[in-house]
Amino acid sequence: MELTGRVIYAGESGYEDARLNFNTRFAASPFAIVFCQSVTDVINAVNWAQTSGIPVRVRSGRHSYEAFSVADDALIIDLNDMEKIQVDRSKARATIQAGAELVPIYETLNAQGVTIPGGSCATVGITGLTLGGGYGLLARWKGLTCDNLQSVEMVTAAGKAIVASPSQNPDLFWALRGGGGGNFGIVTSLTYQVHSIDKVTVYQLSWNWSEIERVMQFWQTWAPETDDRHTSILKLVSEAVGSVFVVGQFVGTETELRQVLAPLLTLAPKSVSIETLPYIEAVYAFAGLKPDYPKRLAHWHGSQTKFKNASDYVARPLSAAGTMTVINFLKQAPSKNVVLQFDSYGGAIAKIAPDATAFPHRQVNFNIQYQTYWTKPQDQAAHLNWVRNFRAAMQPHVTGGCYVNYCDRDLKNWQTAYYGSNWQKLKQVKQRVDPGNFFRFEQSVPKQT
Ligand SMILES: Cc1cc2nc3c(=O)[nH]c(=O)nc-3n(C[C@H](O)[C@H](O)[C@H](O)COP(=O)(O)OP(=O)(O)OC[C@H]3O[C@@H](n4cnc5c(N)ncnc54)[C@H](O)[C@@H]3O)c2cc1C
């Protein structure tokens, strides 16, 4: 049995680039990376690793916050070269190979007048995003990325290509919608329902930082309850930056959006920008791209991005004490490179029962993302401590749930934080599809004991 595909062993030319994760806080040294070109290459890699006893990690877009898709001395089975996207407009569906990245997907679908709801960052991989849920600026309109999944092709630990769908391996299909990447097998392609889209209206409002308490309190009761076509994000930054921002997207006209925004506009923002534009231009704007961006962006090349992010879910507006905790931590931020982002839930996300898919966080108001970035090694400890202490101080005010796609090595109770009461069923599925626990990493689903 041999490894097939584009194989790069430790020490060979290209290895330094091939081993990198988007978050350069981590620098694992795998045994080799196999960039698979076909399902056969994936099967060969699984069989080779099973025979040789070398542990594997599965990788697509390399954006795991905690670098769970790489490990020292492991074989990295990488799908990023498999990136074909096929749209069947007549059946309103698209089949996407596992290695495709988000913006090329949106562009290909947009050329046919359709899209899927997904995340904002251009180079996030579709597979990691979908397996953990997939939140973005169409989420309150059409749900999470995983909610739009129709079927998945996957290679098992036994080296067999199988399908998971409502009629084939339905328990696995349930687990692949929110059960997290890297747990059950190697996904090779995913088929989604697609939605017609043309123009959208986007906005950005800002206030002086001194207005933070008023804006925060108002946004929490307003954003999760608005029209389902509207998804809103509150961006809180350090006091030193000096402003607070609300950004969002609405699938409709400016006139309609202005009605949605009217209550928020009574808080008299210092700047208001509202624009109706083709959907793909909104994608570029939220990804921080210009339309002529190079096809393969690969953010991590030459980037020194080191970061620590974490998350919490909130089910009711923060109390006065919770609000003051947020304000105090933003006042004491270790640098200007911190963001506290509130992502609005409700809408289509909440119309699915918490146990209907493996993604349990359906009945919440919003997700909090704690984000810190730095480049110099001497700045690391202060940023890590800020996130850790901030999260700890927020625990009386949050649900205890965390988003698996914002994975966090610091979580002690990650099993229930990520999966809630779906944890038991996930272990049963694992027992059935991977009884030898071949696919494992620091926070992987174990088999039922
Ligand atoms: C800059 C940035 C922006 C982000 N923006 C968003 C956002 O807007 N919305 C959102 O919801 N999330 C967002 N995320 C989080 C993102 O959803 C997760 O990091 C996701 O897991 C990344 O998937 P990937 O394929 O790029 O990463 P990888 O590191 O390749 O994989 C992530 C996980 O999935 C597993 N996996 C990868 N490929 C496969 C496969 N083929 N089969 C089975 N398992 C596999 C890996 O083993 C790993 O556990 C963002 C992350 C970053 C770094």
CATH number of the domain where residue 24 is located:
3.30.43.10
Region of 116 on the Ramachandran plot (φ > 0 left; ψ -120 to 50 alpha; else beta):
beta
Q: How far is the CA of 449 from the centre of ligand 1 (A)?
A: 28
Residue 262: C-alpha distances to residues 268, 269, 272 (Å)? 10, 12, 12
Number of H helices and E strands in the chain, helices first, is 13, 18
Q: Is 45 or 292 the better-scoring residue by pLDDT?
A: 45
Tally the domains of the chain: 3
Distance between CA 220 and CA 213 in Å, rounded? 11
440 inside domain? no
- 374 Cβ closer than 6 Å to some ligand 1 atom: no
396 inside domain? yes
pLDDT at 377: 92
| Average pLDDT of span 420-426 | 98
Q: How far is the CA of 145 from the centre of ligand 1 (A)?
A: 12
pLDDT at 296 over 80: no
Domain span at residue 136?
85-196+422-433
26 inside domain? yes
449 inside domain? no
Q: Say if residue 74 is in the same domain as residue 108.
A: no
- 33 Cβ closer than 6 Å to some ligand 1 atom: no
> Minimum mean pLDDT among 205-209, 297-301, 402-406: which range?
297-301
| Average pLDDT of span 10-26 | 94
CATH number of the domain where residue 233 is located:
3.40.462.20
Last residue of a domain, one of 44, 78, 112: 78
Distance between CA 355 and CA 6 in Å, rounded? 40
414 SS3 class: helix
Question: Is residue 190 classed exposed, middle or buried when 0-12, 13-18 and 19+ CB atoms within 10 A define those classes?
Answer: buried
pLDDT at 447: 86
Residue 235 has phi, psi (to 5 degrees) of: -110, 115
Q: Is 292 or 161 the better-scoring residue by pLDDT?
A: 161
pLDDT at 302: 43
pLDDT at 295: 52
Q: Say if residue 100 is in the same domain as residue 178.
A: yes
Choice from 21, 22, 37, 69 to test ligand 1 binding pocket (greatest atom count within 8 A of CB): 69
| Average pLDDT of span 350-359 | 98
Question: At 115, which helix (H) or strand (E)?
Answer: strand 114-115
Tokens 């006042």 belong to which residue?
331
Pick the atom of ligand 1 nearest to 154's CA.
42
pLDDT at 101: 94
Is residue 292 very low, low, confident or very high in pLDDT (cuts 50, 70, 90)?
A: low
Following DSSP, what letter does each residue of 21-49 receive, concatenated?
A: -SSTT-----SEEEE--SHHHHHHHHHHH
Q: Say if residue 284 is in the same domain as residue 208.
A: yes
Q: Say if residue 192 is in the same domain as residue 306.
A: no
> Minimum mean pLDDT among 192-196, 284-288, 309-313: which range?
284-288
Choice from 22, 60, 152 to test ligand 1 binding pocket (greatest atom count within 8 A of CB): 60
Q: Say if residue 250 is in the same domain as residue 116.
A: no
Q: Residues 6 or more apart from 338 whose CB is under 8 A from it?
A: 237, 238, 330, 370, 371, 372, 373, 383, 386
> Minimum mean pLDDT among 37-46, 172-181, 284-293, 419-428: which range?
284-293
| Average pLDDT of span 342-369 | 98
Q: What is the pLDDT of residues 110-145, one digit of tens each?
A: 999 999 999 998 889 999 999 999 999 999 999 999
90 SS3 class: helix
Choice from 154, 162, 309, 405 to test ligand 1 binding pocket (greatest atom count within 8 A of CB): 405
Q: What is the pLDDT of residues 377-397, one digit of tens each?
A: 999 999 999 999 999 999 999
Q: How far is the CA of 128 from the centre of ligand 1 (A)?
A: 4
Pick the atom of ligand 1 nearest to 134's CA.
11
pLDDT at 47: 98
Tokens 């092709």 belong to which residue?
153
Find out whether 103 and 122 touch, Cβ atoms under 8 Å: yes
Q: Is 1 or 356 the better-scoring residue by pLDDT?
A: 356
Q: Say if residue 139 is in the same domain as residue 267.
A: no
| Average pLDDT of span 406-433 | 98
Q: How far is the CA of 19 from the centre of ligand 1 (A)?
A: 16
Q: Say if residue 210 is in the same domain as residue 164.
A: no
442 inside domain? no
Q: Say if residue 232 is in the same domain as residue 170.
A: no
Q: Say if residue 247 is in the same domain as residue 357.
A: yes
**pTM listed for this prediction:** 0.97
DSSP conformation class of 446: P
Is residue 251 very low, low, confident or very high in pLDDT (cuts 50, 70, 90)?
A: very high
Q: What is the mean pLDDT of the chain?
A: 95
| Average pLDDT of span 171-192 | 98
As given in the structure block, the two tokens for residue 239 are 């006091």
Q: What is the pLDDT of residues 211-248, one digit of tens each?
A: 999 999 999 999 999 999 999 999 999 999 999 999 99
Q: Say if residue 239 is in the same domain as residue 356.
A: yes
pLDDT at 304: 67
Is residue 298 very low, low, confident or very high in pLDDT (cuts 50, 70, 90)?
A: very low
| Average pLDDT of span 83-91 | 97
Strands (E), 297-354: 306-314, 338-344
pLDDT at 156 over 80: yes
447 inside domain? no
Through-space distance between the first and last CA atoms of the chain, rounded to whole angstroms: 32
CATH number of the domain where residue 188 is located:
3.30.465.10
Distance between CA 6 and CA 11 in Å, rounded? 15
Q: Say if residue 192 is in the same domain as residue 204.
A: no
| Average pLDDT of span 281-290 | 89
